[in-house]
Amino acid sequence: MLSNAVQVYIDMRRACGFKFGCQSTYLFGFAGYSANRGEDLVRSDTAIQWASQASSTYQRAHRLAIVTRFARYMRAEDPRHEVPMPVFGPERWERSVPYILSASEIARLLQEAAHYGRHPMQGATYSTLFGLLACTGLRISEAIGLRYSDITTDGLVIRSTKFRKSRLVALHASASVALEWYLQQRRPVAPLDDHVFVSVRGTPLAPRCVDGAFQVLTRRIGLLRGPGLPRATPHSLRHTFAVRALQTCPGERDEVTRHMVALSAYMGHVDVHSTYWYLQAAPDLMQDIAQCGEQFVREAS
């Protein structure tokens, strides 16, 4: 049965280091769809019809691409399997334009966060959490997943997060002091839980609660919002960190290369292309690049 082959394929991909979460769900869905049609081989028409059930063109292309990679794997052993053509276009995810916060906006956000909620611990938790995101560029999942043992004298140990990569994130002395102050307030709230950031009920913070608090705070400080404008989210603090780090990059070519590689490793990107994306994502950086380009042309002429 095709579902058995799907399981073997998933096990192989996971053994290679891929999490293969939603992909496995899609492939089992396709295998079930094929079984209902009495098919135990990958058929192009069946794959296209199954993928076409998705609501958007991007999702159709994404689902079909998942089956296509599986079909290539199967066809290596049995040429009767068919590899579908990309009839929905390339599998491509268009990144949304990030909201880059100014230094004054971050300061106002943290000031407002300190007074968030009815319980004093809510203000302490969210002001510390958002401050940590702003000064380290952590992913929100990495920050709320921190444990006591991850705080070391050398910085924060980010363990096996996205792409199963672990890394050490250095902390400025002021950030270490703020984090230690928060832990002194936090330990009595949930003495049996070793998560760094917890709710007033003593449970680990949920991403939806963090996003909800962030949206309330951004409305209070008056961040611009509306049709056609980037949406500010907790992840915007990570984007802001990356952009500000790139703005401090030295101008020499070799220095730029080393700076980009170091920043890519620091942020836990799977490859440096994810870091280079920030060069085109922020108008400030695009303006800097344009000015450098104009200066180069003037000096060369």
Catalytic choice (69, 220, 235, 259) = 235
Catalytic choice (115, 162, 219, 258) = 162
Catalytic choice (60, 81, 195, 269) = 269
Instruction: Give dist(CA 29, CA 9) in Å, integer.
Output: 14
Q: In what order do the strands lie in the sheet with 167-169?
A: 151-152, 155-158, 167-169
Q: Does 19 participate in catalysis according to the annotation?
A: no
Which amino acid belongs to residue 222?
G
Using DSSP's 3-state secondary structure scheme, residue 142 falls into helix
Instruction: Give dist(CA 87, CA 43) in Å, integer.
Output: 14
DSSP 8-class letter at 42: -
Catalytic choice (60, 81, 139, 239) = 139
Residue 153 CB neighbours (<10 A): 6
Q: Does 162 participate in catalysis according to the annotation?
A: yes
Q: Does 235 participate in catalysis according to the annotation?
A: yes
Instruction: Give dist(CA 111, CA 195) in Å, integer.
Output: 24
Instruction: Give dist(CA 66, CA 30) in Å, integer.
Output: 10
Name the β-bridge partners of 168: 157
Instruction: Give dist(CA 249, CA 246) in Å, integer.
Output: 5
Q: Does 269 participate in catalysis according to the annotation?
A: yes
Q: Does 139 participate in catalysis according to the annotation?
A: yes
Q: Does 195 participate in catalysis according to the annotation?
A: no
Catalytic residue annotation: 139, 162, 235, 238, 269, 278
